Structure 1
Amino acid sequence: MYRIVVTVIWWSVIQGLGYSQPVRQKTDSLTYQLYLSQEWKPLMRETRRSLHQGIDFFYLRVRAGIAAYELKKYRLAAHHLSKAYKKNSSDEFVNYWYYYSLVMSGRKDEANRLAMRFSDDYLSSMDIRKQTGVNSILAEVQISDNSEIEALLDENIAGAYNYLGYRNVADRQVYKAFGIDHRVSGRVYAFHGVSHLGISRMQLFQSPLTRINIQHESTTTQYQYYLQGRYLFDHGWMVTSSASLLWGEAVSHWFSYSSEGVPRLNRNIYAINDYVLNAGIAKELRWLRPKLSLSAGEISGTKQWQIDGQVIVYPLGNTNLYLTSDLSRYHDNGTDKNHHVFSQKLSIKTGPLWLTGEWVTGNIRNFSASDGYIVYNMSETIKGIAGITAWIPLFNNRFDITGRYRITDKEGLTFIYANTVDYQMAKYLFSEKSFLISLRYNL
């Protein structure tokens, strides 16, 4: 009985091999003819059919990768060419197409890592830049203005019989940043960023009992150092870790009376010492890129943690159209509550530039975004953000210029004192408009 079973198994294997060889030869011949005649869509259909039947070989992946590239499905091209690369990493033809499919897919770190394995002669002949040190240099400036500040300062915030009404209104913000992205080793890349943020505010004090209406400017100066490391694993996996350190001082004033009953403003300085630590993992797939990250830190003197999930979907298989969805859940010890923030972006290529529309909703305060690169530690709560970004590469991708316009809806607090101790708070809303210009030089 045992011999009969073994004989049947071997006969099945031999029959399967005998069947698969002619089918593979037929597939090889057909896909080669489709490749020569540049019939890319039929070639992709034949590839899907063959892979579904378990037929997979080096030249099938090469032809499918080039067909996908010619159809501008660069992420699918990178998938097929990565399979061919694993079978023969020394094939220069495969290396060329694999490199540019990664570049066109927006996976520049992986493309740079691949280029490190090429010889100088090959890089020169294929017009590929080898990046061994600094990859890019970034400089950006953003100016934000509260166009409603005059109306907010003209309001009667104290009422007719209260001791004092107080409001600290944001006026203008000027943000300046500089960053360097560089290669550390074959798999490790790092970004260093430093920034300065200057904030101008107007403090409003109203006292109906003494008929006082005082407006006084206060300022905030904040510095930030940001460091992010990116580690590339095989098969499209990437792990990131980052640290963001913020320091500076906020100058404000408080209303009081002297012993002679004369009103005066006392100057106070508050130190800023915030930090955010972040770690994340992402995976490059054919049609999307999921990412999960965790953050923890101290913002505005309160402990905070958050978990962020992101999915980038490429419906066309390239960066000509993609959607970015972010959902964050964070806990702020200052309020001892859990909050949610949702962000949706739509990016589309229009001629030489890319346009991105964004919409953000949630209660954003003591919160971080972009792996801790952006830290919201202002006293106001952001209720929503809407904006549009234009990005254009210049001079054969040597320079990138980005312009962004945003409208941010914010919620501030008015403090109404019945006496020197007891008070109640009232909310007020305003919109802040900002414009950012960014220049990146790619080495």
Structure 2
Amino acid sequence: MYRYLIIPLIVLSFRTAPAQDHNDFIHYDTLTYRLYLTNNWGELKNAGKEALRQGHDYYYLRMRLGIAFYETANYRGAIPHFQAALDFNSGDKTALEYLYYCYLFSGRHADVHALIPRLPMSFRVKNLLDRSSNITRFGLNYQYTFNNDREVFRNFTIPSDTSDGMQFLTRHFHYFSSSLGHTLSSRIHLQHMYTYIHKNDLFYYNGPDYAYVVPERNTSQHQYYLQARIRAFHGASFITSFHYVYTKSPALYKRQGFGHVIQLAPEFISNDVVLHLAYNQEAGPFNLDISGTYTYINQLRHWQQNLQLTCYPLGNLNMYSVTGISRITEHSRNITVDERYVFREKLGWKVTGSLWMELFGYTGNLKNFTDNLGASVFNSLDYIEYMAGGNLIFLLKNNTHFTLSYTLSRLHSTYNAYPAAEPVGTNHVHYNVHTLNGGIQWNF
């Protein structure tokens, strides 16, 4: 009904305006109203932008512009217009509901949760937004990584370096994880994740009294990850996370003669920590993430600075690109022993109504690198030089996502002396590993 009251109400409110401005206003208001009624969204966007440039800014113009962007699926383009409409009329139910869907279809979940208390009760009840449970998501994930190049193991040679140290070559490993997300308030969201990894390596150890090659040595790893996302204001959030990694490799023994046992490799236990702090800013079709990470991994301290830009050229989730760069400095005894960079790129697009595809790649030295807001830790001593792969993301019923992935990684194994005098070891071995991944996430 408010559509047909637009012209008389606005004309009355501009009676004191100069004649030329008044005529311009009548022109733009009449034009945008006509284009709105005929669903001519492209011309409406052009006319509305021109009206704003001429200094005409009012509730109904912003609503028409917001709806024009919304109807063409440019949800990110619609957001500032519905926000401006609410500046004119903060309690408008129509603008609030449109803004909710724009946030939702743009992937701006922090803004969605912050907006829910302002939505009409009838809308919240209809869409089941007032729930007794604060749980927002639950996920399960499994991946299997393997090295199918048997020549790498058959051709392994004992390092010429006689210093005490060790070398690993990955054979395969299993990765299991479960995650849970929940809200503390409309502005604070927490995510928990537990991960278990069982890894099998070729292991060479050179100690003070002996040297030995262990063809297959098992390592187990338990991880706990906690992330807090705090919404500061429209489109802006702070993200902080803590990640604890416990790694254990059992001691290996060999029986010599009757009742005599010697130790081939000592028990290895490490307690690694990752601390991450990020600022995330939404701006139109862009999402900017600036973050810093402190890690204590493999008995070395690291500082990592990250810059990441995500672009949604269509204003929705149907197409996007993610570009990132990280600088890592490695420190031992208060001395910087290494500096390296990691570059990453991801392209994603909607294939069908319920299927998305992503292609991604990383290049650089990923030794002791962290990713995904501190959730992913690359702490293996045979480090990744580059990796590339793809994801298939299926949108199932009831807000459930199922993901299948493949990754090819190029690994670089070296003999690492202890204590390390140089950041780069000796006895270099290069090889490929393959990773198959499957995961499911329920969103509530």
TM-score range, shorter chain: 0.7 to 0.9
Counterpart among 365, 368, 371 of residue 369 in structure 1 = 371
Q: Percent identical across equivalent pairs? A: 25
Q: Matched residues in 2 for 1:214 and 1:59: separation?
A: 76
How far 1:204 sits from its partner (Å)? 5.5
Q: Which residue of 1 aligns with 2:172?
A: 172
Q: Is structure 2 residue 21 aligned with structure 1 residue 23?
A: no
Q: Matched residues in 1 for 2:195 and 2:392: separation?
A: 22
How far 1:383 sits from its partner (Å)? 0.3
If the length of structure 2 is used for normalisation, what is the TM-score? 0.86
Asked if the contact 2:141/2:177 (under 8 Å) is kept, the reply is yes
Map 1:244-283; keep pairs closer than 5 Å. 244-251=243-250, 253=252, 266-283=264-281
SS state at 1:233 partner = strand
Counterpart among 356, 359, 365 of residue 357 in structure 1 = 359
What's the CA shift string for 1:332-375, capped at 9, x where partnerless? Answer: 11571211000000001000211010010000111211111011
What's the CA shift string for 1:65-118, capped at 9, x where partnerless? Answer: 111111111110112112112322311111111111111111122112212322
Asked if the contact 1:414/1:428 (under 8 Å) is kept, the reply is no
Q: Matched residues in 2 for 1:201 and 1:48: separation?
A: 62
Q: Which residue of 2 aligns with 1:384?
A: 386
Asked if the contact 1:195/1:224 (under 8 Å) is kept, the reply is yes
Q: Which residue of 2 aligns with 1:209?
A: none
Q: Matched residues in 1 for 2:125 and 2:112: separation?
A: 16
Q: Which residue of 2 aligns with 1:288?
A: 286
SS state at 1:364 partner = coil
Instruction: Give the aligned residue type for 2:43.
Output: P
Q: How many residue pairs end up in the alignment?
A: 414
Instruction: Give the aligned residue type for 2:384.
Output: I
Asked if the contact 2:202/2:213 (under 8 Å) is kept, the reply is no
What's the CA shift string for 1:114-168, capped at 9, x where partnerless? Answer: 123224422234x3534560111111111111111x21221151499x9999853
Larger mean CA deviation between 386-395 and 23-32 belongs to 23-32
Instruction: Give the aligned residue type for 1:230.
Output: R
Map 1:215-364; keep pairs closer than 5 Å. 215-251=214-250, 253=252, 266-334=264-332, 336-351=337-352, 352-364=354-366
SS state at 2:365 partner = strand
Structure 1: runs of 5+ lacking an equivalent: 1-13, 207-211, 417-423
Asked if the contact 1:158/1:165 (under 8 Å) is kept, the reply is no
SS state at 1:79 partner = helix
If the length of structure 1 is used for normalisation, what is the TM-score? 0.86
Asked if the contact 2:205/2:265 (under 8 Å) is kept, the reply is no
What's the CA shift string for 1:173-220, capped at 9, x where partnerless? Answer: 1111111111111211111111111111123689xxxxx996532111
Q: Which residue of 1 aligns with 2:414?
A: 413
Instruction: Give the aligned residue type for 1:151.
Output: E
| Cα pair distance change 1:405/1:70, threshold 3 Å | same
| Cα pair distance change 1:215/1:228, threshold 3 Å | closer
Q: Matched residues in 1 for 2:375 and 2:182: separation?
A: 17
Q: Matched residues in 1 for 2:96 and 2:347: separation?
A: 32
